[in-house]
Amino acid sequence: MASTLNPYLNFRGQAREAMDFYQRVFGGEVQRSTFGEFGMSHDPAEAEQVMHSQLHSPGGFVLMAADVPADMPFTPGGTYSVSLSGEDEGELRGYWDGLADGATVTVPLEKAPWGDTFGMLVDRFGVSWLVNISGAAPA
């Protein structure tokens, strides 16, 4: 079996909302478990928070996420980005449009000097995304 690399995103009380959002963007099914389901909640207020979730998209993406309990350190954003790249412009523009809902676009999705179409944004949950649509190399 081949090894895979999957982004694992951490949130504080927003993992369920974030994964539902990513499911709308990428499609597929979300599986999730709460802290309460496994008796892992030290704080009853956190029992319904997400201990682990995983989204499998029809395009083969796997995205994982969890809520970080209040008694653990949490520093949102800034230390990671998620990159989507490929040749299917319609598919990737669709993902871009979905992720851009409520996002801060830091680099508009447009033709880049290297010939691809490229853009960057920070979504409504503070996750940095890079989208690169392969194109012809400049002559």
pTM: 0.82
Predicted pLDDT at 113:
86
Mean pLDDT for the chain overall: 90
Tokens of 53: 């979730």
Chain centroid to CA 32: 15
Residue 64 and residue 15: Cα distance in Å, rounded?
9
Q: Judge contact between 53 and 65, C-beta under 8 A.
A: yes
Q: List the domains of the chain with CATH numbers.
A: 8-67 (3.10.180.10), 81-133 (3.10.180.10)
- pLDDT tens-digit series, residues 93-130: 999 999 999 999 999 999 998 899 999 999 999 999 99
Task: Report the alpha-carbon distance of residue 88 to residue 85 in Å, rounded.
Answer: 9
